[in-house]
């Protein structure tokens, strides 16, 4: 029996990043995908079965952390969709709120969940957020907490309310963009324009835009209204819901969905649970 290698958390994450790079080579359409990474002179090898979403072979020890890491991120990276794959994230309290009535949300979840968000960013090709998230939090939407590339950032700002003073547009990579209504006159070069229907964008038009940009993994990071719009349109493929052990009593709800008349009408989704610091991460399959 061959002794398996030990592996650190950082090295495990390096394998996830290597998996992301593998998506674009000749293995893209294979169901068994080999991932190799040499770290400080040691070669780590992992073979992933995309049909069963399991690791079929590896030369290192899979502990609880590795199991959580690979089972969370590899199904997203090696999804079988021929169109953009959409993942969303929300952090909420026990009683289902993502922010106070005034919009304060830093920080409902733990530091571990914030790191998790940066990991999702690193495996994504695009981050999408609504303009209110930018106006309230002024986020950078980069991967500054971890090793990994910062993806393209697109802000849904139908009325073109946001100026370029916000952090998301000031990052050194100049990779921050907005989607605004097609009737607005502008000479900015970081703008995409789409038609509005009854005051809102059609999500299918956004998908067409992402296809033209050749983007594959799309991270809907917030806020609750934007995530709910994509959820209600049955576009989301995966949802990471982080539940914090806190109670607000009132505030902004995590989901805004059509009112259900009975429990029989409520949707039930396949969910995997992981402990994340003091929080619980619900990894929810939507399609």
Q: Are 285 and 270 in contact (CB under 8 A)?
A: yes
Q: Quick one: pLDDT at residue 101? A: 81
Average pLDDT over residues 172-186: 93
Q: What is the pLDDT of residues 151-172, one digit of tens each?
A: 999 999 999 999 999 999 998 8
User: What's the confidence (pLDDT) of residue 112?
Assistant: 94
Among 127, 20, 34, smallest CA distance to 79 is for: 20
Q: Which of 97, 55, 91 is nearest to 73 (CA)?
A: 55
The DSSP letter of residue 215 is -
* pLDDT per residue as tens digits for the range 236-248: 999 999 999 999 8
What is the architecture of the domain spanning 85-285? 3-Layer(aba) Sandwich (3.40)
- pLDDT band at residue 262 under the 50/70/90 scheme: confident
What's the mean pLDDT in 86-103? 90
What is the token pair recorded at 196?
A: 């509005």
- Please give the C-alpha separations between residue 191 and each of 30, 141, 177, in angstroms, as whole numbers: 36, 18, 6
The C-alpha atoms of residue 144 and residue 147 are separated, in whole angstroms, by 8
User: Can you tell me whether residue 129 is helix, strand or coil?
Assistant: strand
Per-residue tokens: 139 = 């986020």
Alpha-carbon span 97 to 108, nearest angstrom: 9
User: Is 70 exceeded by the pLDDT of residue 259?
Assistant: no
If you average pLDDT over residues 274-279, what whole number do you get? Answer: 93
Cα-trace Rg, the chain: 20
Q: How far apart are CA 132 and CA 135, in angstroms?
A: 5
All structural domains of the chain with their residue ranges: 9-77, 85-285
């Amino acid at each position: 029996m061959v002794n398996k290698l030990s592996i650190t958390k950082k090295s495990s994450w390096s394998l996830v990043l290597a998996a992301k790079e593998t998506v674009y080579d000749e293995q893209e359409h294979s169901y068994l995908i080999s991932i190799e990474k040499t770290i400080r002179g040691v070669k780590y090898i992992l073979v992933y079965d995309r049909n069963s979403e399991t690791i079929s072979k590896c030369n290192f020890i899979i502990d609880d952390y590795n199991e959580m890491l690979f089972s969370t991120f590899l199904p997203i990276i090696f999804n079988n969709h021929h169109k953009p794959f959409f993942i969303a994230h929300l952090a909420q309290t026990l009683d289902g709120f993502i922010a106070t009535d005034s919009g304060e949300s830093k920080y409902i979840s733990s530091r571990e969940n914030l790191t998790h968000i940066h990991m999702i960013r690193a495996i994504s090709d695009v981050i999408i957020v609504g303009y209110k998230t930018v106006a309230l939090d002024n986020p950078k939407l980069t991967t500054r907490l971890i090793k990994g590339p910062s993806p393209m950032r697109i802000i849904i700002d139908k009325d073109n309310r946001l100026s370029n003073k916000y952090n998301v547009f000031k990052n050194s990579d100049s990779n921050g963009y907005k989607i605004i209504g097609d009737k607005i006159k502008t000479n900015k070069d970081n703008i995409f324009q789409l038609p509005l229907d009854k005051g809102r964008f059609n999500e299918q038009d956004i998908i067409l835009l992402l296809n033209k940009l050749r983007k594959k993994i799309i991270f809907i990071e917030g806020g609750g209204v934007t995530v709910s719009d994509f959820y209600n349109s049955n576009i989301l493929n995966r949802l990471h819901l982080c539940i914090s052990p806190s109670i607000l009593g009132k505030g902004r709800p995590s989901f805004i969905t059509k009112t259900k008349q009975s429990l029989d009408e409520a949707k039930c989704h396949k969910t995997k649970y992981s402990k994340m610091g003091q929080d619980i991460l619900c990894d929810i399959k939507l399609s």
